[in-house]
Amino acid sequence: ISSQAHSIILFGPPGAGKGTQAVRISQTTGKPQISTGDMLREAVREGTDLGNEAKGYMNRGLLVPDSIIIGLISERLKRSDASGGVLFDGFPRTIPQAIALDKLLITFGLKINFVFELIVDDEQIISRVVGRYTCKNCDTGYHDQFLKPKIEGVCDNCGKKVFIRRNDDNSQTVRSRLKDYHRKTSPMISYYSNIGILYKINGMLGVDNVTKKFNATKLLQVGLPIT
Ligand code: AMP
């Protein structure tokens, strides 16, 4: 009898729309979103030792060392909401992380059913990342050109008027993030396609059309109770 809770990995270059889609997939499937980027930004804001160590890498557009990331994930998976399966957003990002994850899956009784790769051209990535910002209060994402709030300067979702931009969302840093993506993250494509669980999604479509592509896969099956 299999008692492994179904889980999902979402990966793709910075600005591919992982975070946006992750929020939606999390709602559809009921799986908690585990974003290492969000967890690191929170640690940086809180000024923890881990945050202080990660900050230098993040601001330069470099990947944070695997040992830090693996430690974060193993702590996170101990929480009870992970026991029914999770949605990994932005993790794993290197082959050593993927190997460490395989071990953690056994420990925590989880199984990866879907790995989604969001595909977006490098040119498009740069313009998406450089123009993006979020509401400081509710984290809703916007873009200078592609996704403006309905009323200028007012968040559609919560009505607040303060917005923030990520430190690492500038044209210089995004280039090093892209380089790391091609060098260190894209080898995971064959790692997961070899075991037959990789699904490619065209991330160039509009946000809602990308969501439709996800929903057209057997995605909902992972929301079903464990058998
Ligand atoms: P993200 O929000 O996913 O774009 O992540 C922002 C930054 O956090 C990245 O540019 C990395 O510096 C760091 N980071 C997030 N997730 C990982 C990971 N799995 N491995 C290494 N570094 C990461």
What are 42-68's pLDDT values in tens digits?
999 999 999 999 999 999 999 999 999
The model's confidence at residue 223, banded by pLDDT at 50, 70 and 90, is low
Q: How many angstroms separate the alpha carbon of residue 57 from the centre of ligand 1?
A: 9
Q: What is the mean pLDDT of the chain?
A: 92
Q: Does residue 220 have a pLDDT over 80? A: no
Task: Compute, in angstroms, the gap from residue 36 CA to the centroid of ligand 1.
Answer: 6
How confident is the model at residue 4, as a pLDDT? Answer: 85
Segment 58-104, tens digit of pLDDT? 999 999 999 999 999 999 999 999 999 999 999 999 999 999 999 99
Q: Is 22 in the pocket of ligand 1 (CB under 6 A)?
A: no
DSSP string, 32-95: PEEEHHHHHHHHHHHT-HHHHHHHHHHHTT-PPPHHHHHHHHHHHTTSGGGTT--EEES---SH
Any atom of ligand 1 within 6 Å of the Cβ of 177: yes
pTM (whole model) above 0.85: yes
pLDDT of residue 2: 54
Q: Count H helices, E strands: the chain?
A: 9, 8
User: Cα dist. 200→37, 101, 118, 136 in Å?
Assistant: 22, 21, 6, 32
Catalytic residue among 31, 41, 76, 93: 93
User: Band of the pLDDT at 33, cuts 50, 70, 90?
Assistant: very high
How remote is the CA of residue 157 from the centroid of ligand 1, in Å?
26
The reply to whether ligand 1 has any atom less than 6 angstroms from the CB of 15 is no
100 lines ligand 1 (CB under 6 A): no
pLDDT of 227: 39
What's the Cα-to-Cα distance from 119 to each of 15, 140, 150, rounded to whole Å? Answer: 10, 22, 28
pLDDT band at 215 (very low <50, low <70, confident <90, very high): confident
Task: Tell me, in angstroms, the distance from the centre of ligand 1 to residue 150's CA.
Answer: 30
d(CA 42, CA 67): 18
**How many angstroms separate the CA atoms of 130 and 145, rounded?**
10
Q: Which amino acid is at 65?
A: P
> Is 76 an annotated catalytic residue?
no
User: What's the average model confidence in pLDDT over 144-152?
Assistant: 93
| pLDDT tens column, 111-138 | 999 999 999 999 999 999 999 999 999 9
Which residues contact residue 133 at a Cβ distance below 8 angstroms, ignoring those fewer than 6 apart? 141, 142, 143, 144, 163, 164, 165
93 catalytic, yes or no? yes
Mutate to test the pocket of ligand 1, among 20, 21, 36 (most ligand atoms within 8 A of CB): 36
- In the chain, what percentage of residues exceed pLDDT 70? 96
**pLDDT reported for residue 219:** 75
